[in-house]
Amino acid sequence: MNREIRCAVLGVGRLGYRHAVNLATKVKGATLTAVSDALPEVAERVARELDVPTWSTNPDELIARDDVDAVIVVTPTDTHAAFAKRVASAGKALFLEKPLTLDLQEAGEVVKAVQQSGILCQIGFMRRFDPAYAHARNRILAGDIGEPLYFKGISRDPTAPPVAYVAASGGIYLDQSIHDYDVARFLMGQEVTEVQAMGSVLFSKEVATHGDVDQALTYLRFGNGAAGDVEAYRNAFYGYDIRAEILGTEGTLVVSGLQYHNVTLLQPRRSSYDVLPGFLERFSDAYVLEMEHFIDCVQKGEQPTVGVRDGFEALAIGTAARQSYRAGSFVSVADVCAGVPVNAGGASHV
Ligand SMILES: NC(=O)c1ccc[n+]([C@@H]2O[C@H](COP(=O)([O-])OP(=O)(O)OC[C@H]3O[C@@H](n4cnc5c(N)ncnc54)[C@H](O)[C@@H]3O)[C@@H](O)[C@H]2O)c1
């Protein structure tokens, strides 16, 4: 019989709380033994609600505990590198939210720490586990669209995140478009070699104080000559709008869906449905499925299908995009990785 994997969640804010609930109530083979948050009232409330025996404001205390086998890092992005390295030194399994870090040098250090310690590591690219994206990938692998030639990704949030979140997020290319960069690699089965990015502040003036934009477009070129584009917008208002298209030589796949409940209201001369309000609703299944995969891998001692190297590659594309937005020209992904030990991370999973 498989052993129970004892988990600690670091950071129980918007997404960490969802991971904690899933681990405590839905993910087979997992036991939530500890939670941490910088805000003691938040950590204590979540521990009480989910019947978790240990809570702390000090993540290091939890990483070191004997009754913790796996650590799920869902703290702000500017803390990821430090926690990931500490989990690696403790020899525990690591689930690390995207993006890997804010900076490629730091990301290279995380890749090295993970590889040298031999720990198991999964990155929180949950779209790969979403049934629609996973189905699209299977259709591509089955040859249903021939050779994939063009990728289009759209990610529109209903409203911009709080300014404090933006400050620690790395900006729209690293924080939001990174999901599409990963999915582009996953669906096209190719590495992105160069990008050209543009962006504007259309609505949220305050993001500009952090050098960020609220609307971004990234043109992608892949190693085999295929191409793509990724659009991101922070203020769609109508809802959470996530789409992808893959154009191939023999067909096109469209991943879309704005509808929240499977109910349509029919009225004279019009019909309507309610629109997905946010990421927690759109990807609720994916958040459970990615965590089930992580726990299954820990139980079997196998590396997850989306690892630290994938986190690095997506961050490299985002870093090139951010640089391109500033420079106004194409930027090569290899150039932004110059001097970083990118080959140290083992297999990537395009
Ligand atoms: N995969 C996804 O779909 C997805 C969605 C949202 C966020 N994220 C990622 O998850 C991370 C967290 O995002 P969020 O939206 O939940 O942010 P959040 O601000 O809602 O939550 C972060 C929590 O971490 C706590 N915290 C801050 N510093 C800490 C520390 N040093 N130790 C322990 N706790 C600390 C905060 O008090 C807060 O409760 C970010 O890296 C973000 O990029 C991923």
Domain-wise residue ranges, the chain: 5-126+286-305, 128-278+311-342
The pLDDT of residue 347 is 60
Q: Which of 74, 280, 294 to mutate to test the pocket of ligand 1 (most atoms within 8 A of CB)?
A: 74
Q: Return the H-helix or E-strand segment holding 136.
A: helix 131-141
Say if ligand 1 is within 6 A of residue 170 CB.
Answer: no
The pLDDT of residue 350 is 78
The pLDDT of residue 345 is 45
Fold match between domain 5-126+286-305 and domain 128-278+311-342: no
Would the CA dihedral through 208, 197, 102, 14 be positive or negative? positive
Report the distance separating Cα 31 and Cα 327, nearest Å. 48
Ligand 1 atom at shortest distance from the alpha carbon of 125: 1
Between the CA of 170 and the centroid of ligand 1 the distance, in Å, is 13
* Residue 14 phi, psi dihedral angles, 5° rounding: -55, -55
β-bridge partners, 204: none
Residue ranges for the chain with pLDDT beneath 70: 1, 342-347
The pLDDT of residue 344 is 45
Q: What is the pLDDT of residues 122-158, one digit of tens each?
A: 999 999 999 999 999 999 999 999 999 999 999 999 9
β-bridge partners, 282: none
Would you state the structure tokens that stand for residue 274, as one six-digit string? Answer: 């309610």
Ligand 1 atom at shortest distance from the alpha carbon of 17: 16
Assess if CATH 3.30.360.10 describes domain 128-278+311-342: yes
Superfamily of domain 5-126+286-305: NAD(P)-binding Rossmann-like Domain (3.40.50.720)
The pLDDT of residue 38 is 98
- Judge contact between 34 and 8, C-beta under 8 A: yes
Given strand 331-332, what is the order of strands in its sheet? Answer: 252-255, 241-248, 148-156, 227-233, 215-222, 192-200, 331-332
Q: What is the pTM of this model?
A: 0.97
Q: Which of 10, 42, 61, 75 to mutate to test the pocket of ligand 1 (most atoms within 8 A of CB)?
A: 75
Say if ligand 1 is within 6 A of residue 165 CB.
Answer: yes
Say if ligand 1 is within 6 A of residue 75 CB.
Answer: yes
- Judge contact between 150 and 318, C-beta under 8 A: no
The pLDDT of residue 1 is 67
